[in-house]
Each structure stands twice: as C-alpha cells, then as structure tokens.
With several copies, the nearest count.
Chain A
Amino acid sequence: MTVDATSAAADDDGMDLRLTAREQAFAAEARAWLHDHVPRGLPPSGSADGFAAHVAWERQLFDAGWAVVSWPRAFGGRDASWVEWLLFEDAYYRAGGPPRVTQNGIFLLAPALFEHGTDEQRQRLLRPMAAAETLWAQGWSEPGAGSDLAAVRSTAVRVDGGWRLSGQKTWSTRASFCHAMHGLFRTDPDAPRHRGLTYFLVPLDAPGVRVSGFRRLDGDLDFADVFLDDVFVADHDVVGAPGQGWKVAMSTTGSERGLILRSPGRFVAAARRLVALYRRERAVASPLDRDQVVRAWMAAQAYQLYTLQDVTRVAGGAAMGASSSINKLAWSELDVQLHDAALALLGPRAELVEGAPDAVDGGAWIKGWQFALAGPIYAGTNEIQRNVIAERLLGLPKE
C-alpha cells in the first residue's frame, strides 16, 4: 500500500498540531463535497434495494475521488497522507455519511493485495473494488472458527490450474449482495493450525457456491452463511503463496487503516450527536445523565488523541504492533459507552425503534446501541485483545 507517509509537519521534530495549508484545503474540499452529496435517509443495507442504494452512493464517492483517499491515484485514490485520511473520515461521519458497504474490500482485502498481491491482481481487482463494481464479502469465520481463526476447517484441494474449495463460512457481512469473497482455506490438512492455510478470492456466482442470508441482532438481513461445495478457484485468485494464508490474513487484520486502527471520525461524530441530544433533552436530563454524556464525550476525545499519536508513530515508520489491541478495546468500549449514555438519557423512550412516531432521532440510538454491541465481539473479541495486551505489551506469560 503506497502511502504518503509524512504529512508536511512530520519532518519537524517538535509537536505540531496545526494542519498544513494542504491539509486544510483537503479537509475543506472533503467537507464541502460531502456536505453537498451525503445522502439522507438511505434504507438499511440489508435488503437488495437498500444495498443497491448504498452501492450507488459508493459509486458517487468513487467518481468524485473520495472512495479510497489514501490509495494511489492509479487505483482511484488521492495519495492522501495519514492525516488527510483522518480528516476525510472525520468529515465523512460529521456529514452523516452511512456505513461503507465496500469496507470488507477496501479495508480488509486491499491491504493484503497491496502487501502480498501480484501486480496483475492489483491491476485487475483494486479499481473495481474501489468503484463498487465488485463488492467483496469476507469469508474468514466458520461455525467452529470465530475467535479461534486458526481453527478454519474449510478446505481447498489442488487441481489442474487452480483449487477446489469446500466448506462453510459464516457471519459473512452482506455476502447475500456481494460478488466475491476473500477468506482462508486449509490447503494442507497435515500442517499445524496456523500453517497450511491459503488465502483465496472466491467468486460468489461460481458453481457450487450457495449463500444464505440471516439477520443480525437488530433484525437487519446483514449476515450470510456461505456454503462451498467443490468450488473451482483459479490460481490467479490466490493471494500470496499457498500455505502462507495466515501471514497474509494477519497483514490484513493488522492493517492500520483496516478494522484495527478505527478512524476516530465515526465516534467523534457520535459524541457530537450525543452532545446535541443532551442539549435538546436537557430539560429532562438528570445530573447523572449529564455526567454519563460528558464521560462518553471525554472517552471519544481520548480515543481520537490516541489515534493521532499512533498515526504519528506509524507515519514515522513504526509498526502498528500490539498497540492495535488497545485501539480495538478503546473504540469498541467507547461505542457502547456513547450509546449507553444516550439510552440512559432517553429513559423509557429509549426502546422506540425506527418507525415509532415518538422515536427520538428516528430510533438511531437503540439501533446504534445494537450495532455497538458487536464491537467487543468481532475483529477479535475484547477478551482476546486483553490477552494480547497482557502478553505482547506487558510481557506476561501465555496460558
């Protein structure tokens, strides 16, 4: 992944929290464009119609050059610096932009392609991914391999010119509406757990693939099981070397712009909405509600500052490393805390969902609360993150 690793100020040794003229111009351009274009009231992405609306928005983003700002221009990006990326994300969520249905491609698969893919793969795959022409689902989890990703049991068997894949993937977000899936399959059944895995790209319209959607906690049809029965995948759809799938996947999960270094924009925007909610509801808010709101706002600030520190570090050439586990713990708990504060403030009105005439903010808080509850579970449960912090950052012994 090519990145303009230094913002203008980063060469200077001192702390400097001013934005450069270039950064300010970038942010202003992003804000102005998003202000004019962010769609209001998109339907949930868990239906064919809803998904199509989200895809249309993604294409609009791409056409204007905002889909993948940190990518090289050759693939549809803007060569944006780390800081510019943060500024874009901040502007995106500040403007009320919807969740990105392209994210399992651009945040999870793309880093693997940048690091481990071939030039041919990058040329063939990246631009359609960014343009939301090819929609990507993740095929990482299996019924028996959730937190324990190395327990993958789906298999791939070598055949002439490619591989034959069989097994079941699950919790594959939006797979019902996607064109392709990336995931790990076991190519060497005799190798130990983390070995013998290979990273494949699987067309979801290939013969032998069956996708069966199911609903997440809030009732949206956002998950799917993907059943594979002797599905052919050509050699050019293997990322990295056969048997190196774990390494490729870890480069993805460790990707600073992937799920691990969550841009604070989403949470800072939620904190801002929470403050606005408090200001509207202050007549009925108790001093405890007030304290919960300010605590959540403060946690969002701390998270934002923590990521700025990480970005500075990584822009200076350091690896993200295990501090990504603190990052994951922080954003996922913060998201719960933000919504907890809102629900407490709403009291008996908190339970009203979208469609209820008296739902405050259209039921967004109880919806967001349910969404937030996934945070401590996915992308490595927070229990696993705490183990990583204890073992890799503090040096405690493994169990």
Chain B
Amino acid sequence: MRFAFSLEQQALRDAVRDLLGRACPPAVVRAAWGADDDAAPALWPQLARMGVVGMTAPERWGGLGLGELELVGVLEEAGHAALPAPLLETTAVAIPLLAALPDGPVVDGVRDRWLGAAAAGRAVIAVGLAGAPFVADAARAALLLLERDGELHAVPRDAARLTAEASVDGARRLAWVDWTPSAATRVATGDVARDAAARALDRGAVAAAAELCGLGRRMIELTVDHVQVRHQFGRAIGSFQAVKHHLADAHAALELARPCVARAAYALAHDEPGTAVHASLAKAHAGDAARRAGRAALQCHGAIGYSFEHDLHLFMKRAWALAAAWGDAAWHRARIATAVLDHDAAPGAFHA
C-alpha cells in the first residue's frame, strides 16, 4: 500500500506549476474575461508543446498515454492558476472518451480527424453530457461531444447553433447548443454510450474536483499573504484567532478533500467497480471545501478583496462555477446515498 503520487507524477505537476507560475499570472486570467468567445485559449500552444494537452491521448495519436494519476496533479495546478483553458473538457474528458470508444466507421473517422489535432492543441473539443444544461467552451471548440437520448454524438462546431450564456466567471464561456443528431454524428449507442457517458461524467467530476482543490489552495495562499501584511488595531490581522480559525478550518477541509481526489483518480485509472462513489466523494468534498475557502478568503480580506480589481474574485468565481458544474455537492451526495444506503455498495479505501 502506498498512497502517494510517484516522483514522475510529481515532476510533471511541478513542471506545469512552473509554467503556469510564469505564464499564467492573474493578468492572463483577467485578459480572458475580455476576450472574444471564440478566441483561442490562453497558453494552449505552450501546454500542447509540453505534452499536457495531449497527455491522455494514446501514443498513436501523438499523446503521452498517461492516466488520471498524472492528470489530477496537473489539473490542481490549472485550478491554482485559474487557467482559462479547456484542459478539463478536452484533455480530461473528451480525449479519453473518444480514445476509448469501440472502433467503427464513424468513430474511426472522428478519431482520425480530431484526436491527433486535439492532442496537438490544434483543436479544442467541448463536451455536453445530458445532465448539463450548457456546454463550456463550445464557441472555441472545433468539435462537440454531445449526449442525448442515450446516445453519444460527435458534432463539428460548425454544424451546431450556439447561444452564448454569460457566466459569473467571465473567463468561462458557456453556450446553449442547438443541434441535430444524425447517423454521421452518432459515435455510440446503448450500453456503450451509457457507460462512456457515465465514465465521462466521473472524469469530469474528478477533474473539476482537482481544479477546485487548486483554486481553494490559491485563495488561502492569497489570504495568508494578505493577513500577514494587513494591520488593524495595531496588529497583523492574521494574529487574530477569528482569522486564524476561519483559515484553519478552510485549509483542513481542503486537505481532507485532496486525498479523496487522489483516491478517485486511482479508481478511474484502475477502472475499479466503486469508481462512481469515489468520484462523487471527491467532487462533493472538493466543491464544498473550495466554496468554504472562498468564503473564508473573502471575509478575511475584508473590503480589500471585495473589488473587481483585486485578484481574489478570479479564483472565487471559478470555484463557484466548478462547484456547481459536473454535479454539485448535493447531487453527488445523493448518488453516493443511492449506492451506499440503497444498494449497500460502499467501496473500500483499498483497491477492490
């Protein structure tokens, strides 16, 4: 039993952290708020060159063939930077989904056309599962993977009509997608489609959970920096117990969420039977912890953080959005309740 990331996984994560630390300061996130809906995502070429965008793609499509244990560390760093790019949709969800579909004429065609391009960072793929009302990053995607009526379809963006929906996170681009399924777009039906969509949901939830952990961590870092410098009543406000305890509770909640994310990544990577419960555990805990970190951060910043000019909101609003996306905490708790309470199917901590 060893419940830690490998040195290689940590090294990859460190490399992404270094890149984003240099190349994705808050100014880059802020710039994404003002960009056009179909503008290319910030840093996409650099991330692609590094192999990050295509990391989950099989080697034959130019990818690294890596799995969720590599991915969640990278995504936590993306969250930490509030990276305004669709790593979650394209790298964490779409590429593994497409790569895992059974061969067939339509699937082969879609893969030939899009998978290498996506892995190389030349084509963004967006994802719209049945439970989600909107598709993130649809306008800048070349391809949309969409679920409807128990089927999966790969729809070129040009074949869909998009209506932009403004999010509280200005770097997040949502659209309502109007499209027509056809035999040419149908990539999976029946059990195959159901399983692929379920796994895509789990991947999305775990990826969002990883980003939420990074977002929460960043908000706490910003706040720790602030409360050491800010003085009121003749003292650094970070020396007041009230401030300490807000931050300690928020930090503890995040530190308890992080191993849940790691466990869910392991479950995905090993295709364990209890994967859905592990994914829901991760998403619910990480979403709640990140929201809590946001509240604590804002309260401890005081009015200084309550300004659009301050960086805090860039992270806080992303956290709000991601906590509600890919199933909010209540949805995931309900899913766990069904498994654990109704079906007595509680997975264990160790590999099943």
Contact = CB atoms under 8 A, between A and B. Distances in A.
Please tell me whether chains A and B touch each other in their complex, using a CB distance cut-off of 8 A: yes
A301 B303 CA distance: 29
Given A148-B232, A397-B238, A302 B257 contact: yes
Contacts of A306: 255-256, 259
B169 A351 contact: yes
A99 interface: no
Interface stretch (A9-17, A130-138, A153-161, A178-186): A9-17
A201 to B, nearest CB: 23
Contacts of A214: 307-309
A330 B330 CA distance: 21
B4 interface: yes
Contact of A396 (B163, B228, B308): B228
B244 to A, nearest CB: 3
Given A301-B349, A396-B247, A279 B344 contact: yes
Contact of B255 (A219, A293, A301, A326): A326
A124 interface: no
A286 B336 contact: no
A17 B328 contact: no
Interface string B318-352: 00110011001011011011001100101001110
A386 B175 CA distance: 43
A168 interface: no
Nearest to A367: B168
B100 interface: no
State the main secondary structure of chain B at its contact with A.
Answer: helix
B260 interface: yes
B334 A386 contact: no
Interface stretch (A111-119, A232-240, A355-363): A355-363
B259 A294 contact: no
Contact of A304 (B69, B238, B248, B349): B349
Contacts of A217: 306-308, 313
B4 A352 contact: no
Contacts of B252: 326, 329-330, 389
Interface stretch (B5-13, B90-98, B119-127): B5-13
B304 interface: yes
Q: Give the residue among A219, A301, A395 with the most B Cβ atoms within 10 A.
A: A301
A121 interface: no
B1 A19 contact: yes
A151 B3 CA distance: 40
B245 A386 contact: yes
A347 interface: yes
Contacts of B295: 373
B266 A377 contact: no
B163 to A, nearest CB: 6
Nearest to A345: B330
Contacts of A398: 239
Contacts of A144: 231
A224 to B, nearest CB: 11
A113 B156 CA distance: 67
Given A291-B337, A394-B247, A354 B166 contact: yes
Contacts of B251: 326, 389-390, 393-394
A83 interface: yes
A13 B6 contact: yes
Interface in B233-270: 233, 236-245, 247-249, 251-252, 255-257, 259-260, 262-263, 266
Given A146-B302, A294-B336, A17 B259 contact: no
B262 A289 contact: no
Interface stretch (A32-40, A50-58, A308-316): A308-316
B23 interface: no
Contacts of A373: 295, 298, 306
A9 B2 contact: yes
B345 to A, nearest CB: 11
B57 interface: no
A107 B344 CA distance: 34
Contact of B341 (A294, A329, A355, A374): A294
Contacts of A386: 241-242, 244-245, 248-249
Contacts of B298: 373, 377
Given A301-B349, A330-B252, A377-B299, A356 B313 contact: no
A356 B134 CA distance: 11
Q: Give the residue among B5, B321, B333 with the most A Cβ atoms within 10 A.
A: B333
Contacts of B4: 15, 309, 312-313, 316
A29 interface: no
B133 interface: yes
Contacts of B325: 348, 351
Given A13-B8, A171-B303, A215-B309, A348 B133 contact: yes
6 contacts: A14-B69, A290-B337, A351-B321, A387-B241, A396-B228, A397-B239
